[in-house]
Amino acid sequence: MQSIVARMLEAGHELNALALWVLLPISTLTLLIVLATLIALMAGRERSRRAQQILETLLDALLALLRASRR
């Protein structure tokens, strides 16, 4: 991902590179949260507990990213 951003910066696409750098991790985590939620809803009890743990970890990571982007 860093090489893609570096190429965009070299080409003069500062705004697009910055947006990609910020939005790609957030959108990836959001997708993982959606998948973990679906697994928790559709799976049995054991998988549901594990999916809930993963979901909590992903939400913590997303909150940390959002806090870091505000600084």
Structure-token pair, residue 32: 């993982």
Domain boundaries, the chain: 25-71
What's the confidence (pLDDT) of residue 13?
60
Q: What pLDDT is recorded for position 37?
A: 78
Contact 55, 33 (CB under 8 A): yes
- State the 10-residue block means of pLDDT for the chain, 71 residues long: 62 64 77 79 73 80 78 66
Please give the pLDDT value at position 26: 78
Q: Which of 50, 19, 55, 63 is nearest to 34 (CA)?
A: 55
Letter for the amino acid at 52? Q
Tokens describing residue 21 = 């750098």
How far is the C-alpha of 67 from the C-alpha of 13, rounded, in Å? 25
> What is the Cα–Cα distance from 19 to 17, expressed in whole angstroms?
5
Q: What is the pTM of this model?
A: 0.45
